[in-house]
A and B are shown apart, each in its own frame.
Chain A
Amino acid sequence: MSVLPLLEVDDLHVTFNTASGPVHAVDGVSFTMAPGASLGVVGESGSGKSVTARALLRLFAITDDVRVSGSVHFDGADLLRVDERRLRHVRGGQIGMIFQDPLTSLNPLMAVGEQIAESLRLHRGMGRAEAASEAVELLARVGIADPEKRATELPSSFSGGMRQRVMISLAIACRPRLLIADEPTTALDVTVQAEILLLLDELRRSEGMALMLITHDFGVVAATCEDVQVMYAGKLVEKASMTHLFDRANHPYTEGLLRLVPRFEDAHTGRLHPIPGQPPITGGGGSSCAFAPRCAHAFDRCHREIPPEVAVGPEHLSACWLAADRAKEGTEAGRPWRRTP
């Protein structure tokens, strides 16, 4: 690639020290994002996708006993090593973040306009009045009707979808270069989901910012992202462009996930195909493929050695011992996703 990457994550490890021992939530994750790119991160609950996002901005709870290693280069600086001051400048100013639950993500006792203005005053050095009027414009930008009046209201007078819009306007207030959306639609109705995804996509294109979308739903990624990476037990198991992945998913886990999505054509005959077993509670640290116990194709090597990432196509990586073979033969999962003429 000729473009300098905006974000370069290299060998990121996140370990929580809990009462019942260390938990390797993220176990050696590496990826890059170009300016203006859109990347979907898909995985089950506990696969480490949210922790990865939080680690980028070092957003952990004060009580978390957490160890982070590796590097997160953003705009030339390693965010894991910069001082607090510089980090705060990046937070909200360079990287905006949207969270899963819009009902609890806003301060219940502060007018929404004020919560947006807070960011503007901090990062864009605006005065009180200027920030207030810019906040109103931002609310209008994300499709909130009567923004002047709404800006003075408390979050409690907004519906879930509207609150997520407020949250988005807050995250994009300072024109960040990267927007991280952590399950932004999980808590919302399906119709509202579509609206929010449309808004995110539209904002990404018009503002020229990169979007990292974390979700467990392939449908959400398909609607908004060009690239996708699948996480399992704290590791990246497959990386590809969206269309490529849907066409020729390589990793058995990805295959399983894609098969899980119920398809309309199968409505009367189809059955769901759950992946047997449970994901491991503490990811990583082992000396085998974490997915092996649940994998239908696993053989003895899978239980002995960790599979490396193998290139199976143009910008398509898969961490599986069978990756090369499967790439040659093709897998089942891709096919149903191809549009039949």
Chain B
Amino acid sequence: MEMQTTTETTPPSQRPRRGGLRRWLRDLQGWVARLFGGESLRGLLLRRLRDGVIVLLLVVTVIFFLAHVVGNPALVFAPVDATDEHIAELHRQFGLDRPVAERYWEYLVGLAQLDFGESTWQQRPAIDAVKEALPSTIYLTVVGLGAAAVLGVVPGIVAGARARKPFDKTSNLLSVAALSVPNFWLGLLLILVLGVQLGWLPTSGRFETASIVMPALTLGIVHGGRIYQLVRSATFEEMSKPYVTVARSKGLTEWNILRRHVVRNTGVTTATIVGWEYVRMWGGAVFAIEYVFAWPGIGLLTIDAAHKHDFFVLQAAVIIAGAFVIFSNLLIDMGYQFIDRRIAAS
């Protein structure tokens, strides 16, 4: 009896199947799954790490080929009236006369050792310049994200819960304005009003504690507008679900429905929205904002390096910023998965 039951319930995956390549692929898949423990969190982390490394490698490769193959770095450094011999001399100096593959390999080995070359402008390793600027940018983006979260999440929840009421309409209008205004223009406006006319806040640089306020506020307004939009629609959608009507039929106050049910259930979504917005910040606004406020971070460094034709600093800044974005992305993704699975498991 027991034997019979066993044969009958053989899982389909163990039954012999035809098809050589497909079977081989399935075996490989099974093997990989066993190696990473199936769809476990660890397996997912390893997969995402692998993807991250691949993306970073792509970024690095594109930069290399843009600079060394498509363009000619020697021409950038050569004076305008340089002779052909002079340029040839520079070529030898940079090692540009050697085969591309060899140079690419050396470049990769260098990067692996965090050797990004010497800054021609600052007369020190390019990595040092980036290391100096990175904490400022992290500080600015974290404070900016905090401002964006406060400006976006709270009004977003209130507006979503009181859809089509005056508060919703007003805040919606403001948020659309906030996210359609060019970020640098908003920065300049703040400088004009808060810095120059009212004289409340320092307008540029990072010399005192209050220096952070205006650049962070600018980031907060621009990104808060987007966060507001997404949180508002998530809250509104949640409020329209039947269980909210049931909660209302139980006699709960609107405030308790919002607090005990809706905000809890949209929490994961909200956290993800805010996380994505952080990544987006690195992709754009922070560069313009640092430039407008002369904030000594990666953005300003990149722009200065470009002006000064300092290819090595430029390269180091782009690669490290890219690595940082990939890494943050990974953290957000894993955090989301972690929360989601805990919810699914409980």
Contacts and interface: CB of A to CB of B under 8 A. Distances in A.
| Chains A and B belong together in one complex | yes
Interface of A: 57, 59, 61-63, 88-93, 96-97, 99, 101, 104-110, 118-119, 122-123, 154, 167, 170-171
Given A99-B246, A110-B261, A154-B346, A104 B251 contact: no
A92 B250 contact: yes
Contact of B163 (A57, A62, A93, A110): A62
B250 A122 contact: yes
Given A62-B162, A63-B164, A107-B265, A170 B243 contact: no
B35 interface: no
A107 B250 CA distance: 13
Given A92-B252, A110-B261, 5 more contacts: A59-B249, A90-B251, A92-B251, A104-B242, A104-B243
Given A91-B249, A122-B251, A123-B251, A99 B343 contact: no
**Which of B239, B245, B250, B253 has the largest number of chain A CB atoms within 10 A?**
B250
Interface in B235-281: 239-243, 245-253, 260-261, 264-265
B110 to A, nearest CB: 50
Nearest to A60: B245
Interface of B: 161-164, 239-243, 245-253, 260-261, 264-265, 343, 346
A119 B250 contact: yes
B243 A106 contact: yes
Contacts of A122: 250-252
B251 A108 contact: no
13 contacts: A59-B245, A62-B164, A88-B253, A97-B246, A101-B242, A104-B242, A107-B243, A107-B261, A109-B264, A110-B261, A118-B252, A119-B251, A123-B251
**Which of B164, B245, B246, B265 has the largest number of chain A CB atoms within 10 A?**
B246
Contacts of A154: 346
Top 10 A-B residue pairs of the complex, sorted by shortest distance between their CB atoms: A92-B251, A92-B250, A91-B251, A88-B251, A104-B242, A97-B249, A119-B250, A107-B243, A105-B246, A109-B265
A171 B251 CA distance: 11
Given A109-B343, A110-B261, A57 B243 contact: no
A108 B253 contact: no
Contact of B251 (A93, A99, A107): A93
A104 to B, nearest CB: 4
**Which of B249, B252, B264 has the largest number of chain A CB atoms within 10 A?**
B249
Contacts of B162: 62
B338 to A, nearest CB: 16
B240 A61 contact: yes
A88 B243 contact: no
